[in-house]
Structures are given as structure tokens and as C-alpha cells.
Structure 1
Amino acid sequence: MMKRVKRSKKRDERIVNDPFKKLPNDLNVEILMKMPPRSIARLRFASKHLSSIILDKEFTKLYMTRSSTQPRHLISVHRGGSSMQMQRFHSLSQDHPSFSNHEKVSYKLDPNLPYEFTPPVRGLICGRNGTKMMVGNPSTGQFLTLPRVKTTRRGIISFFGYDPVNDVYKVLCMTILQGRQRRGSKVVSEEHQVYTLAQRKWRMIESSLISFDLISEEFNAIKLPEDIPCVVNYTGKVAITSWPTRNGEVHLWILEDANKQEWSKVSIVVPSWIDLIDIHHGYRFRGTLSTGELIFSPWTLPINPLYFISYNLKENIAKKVVVEELEEPYVSREVYFDHVESPMFCQM
């Protein structure tokens, strides 16, 4: 015989003892706007009234409108260890990139699954290990594990983006015919799957390569002017770039019109390049910041302290920006630029 479970008539303590419910809604929003995302995440579980505000899309938009004027560097650090591996994210001001004043969020990973992360998009970031994928907010430490990519092939390339028309984030996974890629080799894509956050499933789409429209979910073939695989954002436009030469010369091919397949070429010489770099390291052009500065970073390890080269094209001034030395052991790390902090909670 089944027994009925009596539910407690006691009201949710978050409602009864919620001091924020007594405050005007505008004041609550103003309080939240002054807090870092990590603190907002904690308040969501402390106050039911604040939780309703925090989960509202309008608050997320308002918060991100403000944080977009204060872009940050996001440093992903993968700590190693025999018993535990930790993915740690450091968020630093782009104006004053110092570890003495930064936000730090840690996320414990499966010890046997080091994730490879894509650049953050509007506050969220996507990580992949084989067919396992996760999407999360590095500013709050909240991550969701997505359903496995359905494929029997080993080679997978993944991309993460935002559809502004439908206000959704999407993950694109392409399975490739050859499992191991070498520089200069051709990548042949066979299967294409799209995952939209909140839809809880992968969808197979028909397509050819190379550009992918996140809104229409269609591919368009774009013929490259040169066989160069390095793609960057150059002042808001797609560009491919050569590796910097010893004297700091970089060649860029900029896509002016995707429909007409029109490209323009720009050559840049970074002043004082040889005085700023370490000749024992290779460098790559990372693209432009929202401020218009061109960023170059070393890609060979180890690099400690972490640094990059910033070039102001208008003023023709280049400088070396040093980030203080990491005081923790690490296996790998990556720097992402123009990161916009968000209080958004990911939902399946």
C-alpha cells in the first residue's frame, strides 16, 4: 500500500524572508547592475525575487549593454594533476590587464577529458572533447553538458555562434573525412550538425562548404584569394592573414563582399617589432579589438609572464602588454580578447 507524502505547508523561506521583495524593482536592478556575474549567480539562489529579475532576458540585455563598453581579456587556464584537473578562467580589464585586480572562476573537469574551447561569444563559451561538448558562462562558472554528437567518425571541427535575429546561441559540428589534419592539408567535411541551446538535440543539415549563416543555417562556398588557413576579424570584417615576418610585416586579404566574392589586400608593418618580440617564439595575428588596436600574440610555449603585442594603427604606435605571471601550475592556456561579461544562465 502506497503512503501519501504530506507536503509542508511552510512557504518557501526565500519568499518569506526575502528582503529584496520590499525594495522597488528599479533599485534591485540597479544593485544587480553593479555586481560581477559571479555574485549575481549566487544571489539567484538566495532570493526568489531577484532570481526572477536575473533570469529575465531584458536584464541580461541591459547588463550586457553596459559590459560591452568595458570589454575584458579572458584567460583560459587548464591545470593538470594526477587526481584532479581544473579549468580556470581569469577575467581581466583590457585597460589594466593585471592579475592583482581580476575575476577568477574555476570549473572542475573530468580528469580524463581536457576540453578544447572556442573563443567566447556574447559572454558564453563552448568546449569540446571528441563527441562530448559543453556550453557555459565562464564569468559565473555555470556549464551545461550537451548531448553527444552523433557520429562514428573521429575527426570533428566545432564552431560556436550567436543568431541575433532569433536571439539564440548555436553550435555547429562538422565531421571530417580524415581524422588527423596537417598544416596545408585540405579538410573535407561530410556531416554537418547544428545544436541550438534550449532545443536539446542535434539536427543534421545538408550543405557544402565554407561560410555558414547562423540565421538561415545555410553554407556558402567562398573562394580564398590565397591558400592561407588563418582567419581573423579585421575591423569587423572577415580576413585571412599571413604569419608576421621577422621585421613585423603582415599581409591581409579582407573579404569586402561575400556575395560578389570581392577581396582587398592590405600590408602592415608593425613599428619597433624586433624590439618588442622574443626571437625564440613564433607570433600570430589575432585580429582587432573593439578599440581598433591590432593584437599579436606568441603561439609557442612556454610563455611566462604572458604578454602580447598591441598596435594602434591610427597613431602608428606598438607596445608590449604584459600580464602578470601565473602563480599556479598549468598544462595549457589561451587568451581571448573583447570578452563581454554576462549574467546569463544557460538552459538546456
Structure 2
Amino acid sequence: MKRVKRSTNQDERIVNVSFTNLANDMIIEILMNLPPRSITRLHFASKQLPSIILDKKFIQWYMTRSLTQPRYLISLHRGGYMQMHHFQSLSQDHPYNHNMVSYEMEPNVLYEFTPPVRGLICGRDFTKMIVGNPSTGQFVLLPRVKTRRQDILPVFGYDPVNDVYKVLCMTVVLKRSHMSSNGNAVPWEDIVSEEHQVITLGAKEKWRMIECKYPHRHNSGCKGICKDGFMYYLATCDKKRSLMSFDLSFEEFNVTKLPEDQMLQQYGELVNHAGKITIAHQAYNRNVDLWVLEDASKEVWSKNFVVPPLSIDFFGRFCDLVSMGILGTGEMIFASRSSPSFFFVCFDPKSKKVREIVIHGMGGDSRDNIQIIFDHVESCMVLPKVC
């Protein structure tokens, strides 16, 4: 992936300013008020600034400030003769202010990205994987995953104990399959993870095989969540849907049973609700069921539900409102199945207040593939070359 275009603004003119006569405290104050892409350009243009920009304390200071300013991250893949991938970052408080960075993609490569973790994202196209900072426009290629299996799930996370980012990659083996007498495929049986590999984001790092004491199959299409040094994802363990966790520091797996609920065994997505791991499922009656993990060690769950606002208030007609996620503020995101993905509503279940969000300039091409990510935080981290 190579960078071909960046948006520009007045902040980037500071690239030509000399910092020689400024004290470090003044330099840090200036850098803290710059967007991440300008900081990255200064890193490569200056001989004096890399020691500050690469310092872990500065990166953490910048991250601490960014955590108070969550943003929407829109990932747009545009197909055609020249494939382009755009990342548009918008303030959740003022969505009309945005930054956009565009990239030319390799031919016939379509990366599927994991949810961002502290400003970074991980993308996969079969065994090819990248980690990138969409706020700076920098992406690095990871070594190819060593496997011949086709069903692969990457989960991206941050280990706060060792201050490193890691990617967990799982692949499955099919133990038994057969065809019925009429030639139709019979559902796979006894499918479990065969390979578990981890790589740490850093120079010259390689994939490492690790052990897992809990044979399980990750649920394809379900995104994982990283929280407090653990990766969480839904999987099938002992033929029941379960919540898997992976300790990023000790690199150990654990399993938590789900409540005995028939719908929960088939549906639901992981979300971070009020700082707790939650499975959100939208029932047939439009309500959104929230199963909240209260105590993982005791496998204690609580349940509540949210009634969405009436769609006629926004779309002028009755239609199904689909739950898209939950913001850190507790607001729930809904969109219509028939509306563009760049129009949605935020609903506060406590105050019952609703606000509409319209993202302009997106989705004008039928070949566009748009993904909206909530509570994204910008990082100024300059990524190390891995391979």
C-alpha cells in the first residue's frame, strides 16, 4: 500500500520552521496541538524532532488528550480500474470538521479491517496482513501468516503491561465433512482452531505459534474487542457459543459461558457498553437486548433492553432501525436498512434524546464499500518497519 494523496492545511506549513532555538517544553506544546499527519511529516523532515516524537511519554500524552476527543472513522474502499482506500476522520462533537487521507491499493487486494485499538487498525486479505495508522497515513506490512487454511480470524490488541501491540491470528481445521446423497453439502462438524499465532508489532518480529487449552472455533464475521489488556471474541466451544478471552501479556486463553438463551446462541455482536463487555442483539420486536458481563470469573451476566426511537421522525416513514453500535457516552447508533450508510441517528436511552448525523461527500459511487467506526482516537505513533 503506498500513499498517493494527503489533505493539506495551515498546520503543515510548520514543517519549514526551525525548532533549533526552542526549548523542549515549547516544542512539545506545539506538537500537542498539531494533527497526527503533521507530526509524522515533521518526524521525517527534521533531525531534531524524532527523539521527541518517538518518545513513549509524548505518545502517551498525545493519546491521553485524544481519548477525550473521540471521532468517527469512515473507511471507504473504491473499486474500479484504480482501487483507492480513503480514511475520513470526523469529530463526534462537530462532524462537519474532518480530515481525509487516501491511498492507492494493490490490484485485487481488499483488506478487511479490525476495529481500531488506540488509533491503530489491522487489515487482512487472506494471509496478507497490514497494521496502519489511518490518522497519519502510514501502513506497514506484516510477515505473511504461515498457514494453508482458509478460515482465518485476526484479532488486534494492545498490551498495556509491556506497552506493545499484538495481532492474534487463528485458523481452523476441518476434521470431518461429507456430501449427502443428493449432492448437497452437509454442515461441517467438529470444526476447531488448529493454529494460534501471535506477532508483536516491532522491527524484525515474526509469527509465533502458541498453545490453546480450549478447542474452539471463532465465529466468522464477529469482530473482536480489546479492553484492559485482553482480547475478547465470540466462538463455539464444546458445541456452545461462548465468550473467549486472550490475555495479551501472558498470551493465555480463557472461556466464559454465555447465558442459557436460545437467541444468544445464534445472534449478537460484542460491544463495549459503559466500560463492560456486552453482547448486543436486536430482537424481532425491534428492541435491542444487552447482555452485560458483570463478573467473568463467576460467569455472571445481567440483561436489559433498549427500545429504539421511531423511524418516522427521521425518514418520514416507518422502517426498521438497525443497531450499529454504542458510543462511549452510552448513546446507541441506529440506521435504516434502506438509508445510505453515511446517515444515522444517535439515541440516548436515559434521556431519550436523539440527534441525527449526516456525513457529506461519501458514498457517491456504486462501487464504494463504506464502513463507519465509532469512538476512534487519533494516534501520533510512527510505526516501525516490521518486514
Given the alignment, which residue of 313, 323, 329 partners 1:291?
Answer: 329
Q: Does 1:323 align with 2:319?
A: no
Distance 1:65 1:134 in 2: 25
- Percent of residue pairs identical: 54
Q: Does 1:306 align with 2:342?
A: yes
Given the alignment, which residue of 335, 339, 343 partners 2:372?
Answer: 335
SS in 2 for 1:170: strand
Instruction: Assess if the C-alpha contact under 8 Å between 2:288 and 2:323 holds in 1.
Output: no
Q: Which runs of 5+ in 2 are unaligned?
A: 1-15, 176-186, 217-243
Shift of 1:41: 1.2
Deviations 1:107-128 (A, max 9, x none): 2211111100011110100000
Q: Does 1:272 align with 2:271?
A: no
Instruction: Assess if the C-alpha contact under 8 Å between 1:270 and 1:318 holds in 2.
Output: no
Q: Does 1:134 align with 2:168?
A: no
Cα distance change, pair 285–26 in 1 and its aligned pair in 2 (3 A): same
Aligned pair count reads: 323
Instruction: Assess if the C-alpha contact under 8 Å between 2:121 and 2:131 holds in 1.
Output: yes
Shift of 1:230: 1.7
Aligned pairs for 1:242-257 (under 5 A) are 242-243=281-282, 245=284, 248-257=286-295
Distance 1:268 1:151 in 2: 42
How high is the TM-score relative to the length of structure 1? 0.85
* Residue in 2 that maps onto 1:221: 255
Given the alignment, which residue of 236, 256, 267 partners 2:275?
Answer: 236
**What do you get for the CA RMSD once the two structures are aligned?**
2.6
Distance 1:215 1:297 in 2: 37
Which amino acid is the alignment partner of residue 317 of structure 1? K
Instruction: Assess if the C-alpha contact under 8 Å between 1:311 and 1:319 holds in 2.
Output: yes
Shift of 1:284: 2.9
* Residue in 2 that maps onto 1:9: none
Aligned pairs for 1:31-110 (under 5 A) are 31-82=30-81, 84-98=82-96, 101-110=97-106
Shift of 1:274: 4.9
Q: Does 1:206 align with 2:181?
A: no
SS in 2 for 1:35: coil
Deviations 1:23-69 (A, max 9, x none): 11111111111111111111112211112211111111111111111
Instruction: Assess if the C-alpha contact under 8 Å between 2:324 and 2:335 holds in 1.
Output: yes
Distance 2:61 2:189 in 1: 45
Instruction: Assess if the C-alpha contact under 8 Å between 1:244 and 1:285 holds in 2.
Output: no
* Residue in 2 that maps onto 1:193: 197
Q: Name the structure where strand makes up a greater proportion of residues.
A: 2
Instruction: Assess if the C-alpha contact under 8 Å between 1:156 and 1:174 holds in 2.
Output: yes
Shift of 1:232: 1.4
Instruction: Assess if the C-alpha contact under 8 Å between 1:38 and 1:141 holds in 2.
Output: yes
Cα distance change, pair 311–22 in 1 and its aligned pair in 2 (3 A): same
Deviations 1:213-260 (A, max 9, x none): 2222111122122303422111111111222545x4111111111111
* Residue in 1 that maps onto 2:5: none
Which amino acid is the alignment partner of residue 335 of structure 1? I
Distance 2:297 2:249 in 1: 16
Instruction: Assess if the C-alpha contact under 8 Å between 1:118 and 1:159 holds in 2.
Output: yes
Q: Does 1:120 align with 2:94?
A: no
Which amino acid is the alignment partner of residue 249 of structure 2? I
Higher mean alpha-carbon deviation, 55-64 vs 219-228, is at 219-228
Q: Which runs of 5+ in 1 are unaligned?
A: 1-16
Shift of 1:276: 3.8
Which amino acid is the alignment partner of residue 342 of structure 1? S
Cα distance change, pair 211–105 in 1 and its aligned pair in 2 (3 A): same
Instruction: Assess if the C-alpha contact under 8 Å between 1:64 and 1:342 holds in 2.
Output: yes
SS in 1 for 2:40: helix
Which amino acid is the alignment partner of residue 165 of structure 1? V
Which amino acid is the alignment partner of residue 224 of structure 1? L
Distance 1:178 1:229 in 2: 25
Which amino acid is the alignment partner of residue 270 of structure 1? P
Shift of 1:273: 4.4
Distance 1:305 1:256 in 2: 33
* Residue in 1 that maps onto 2:156: 160
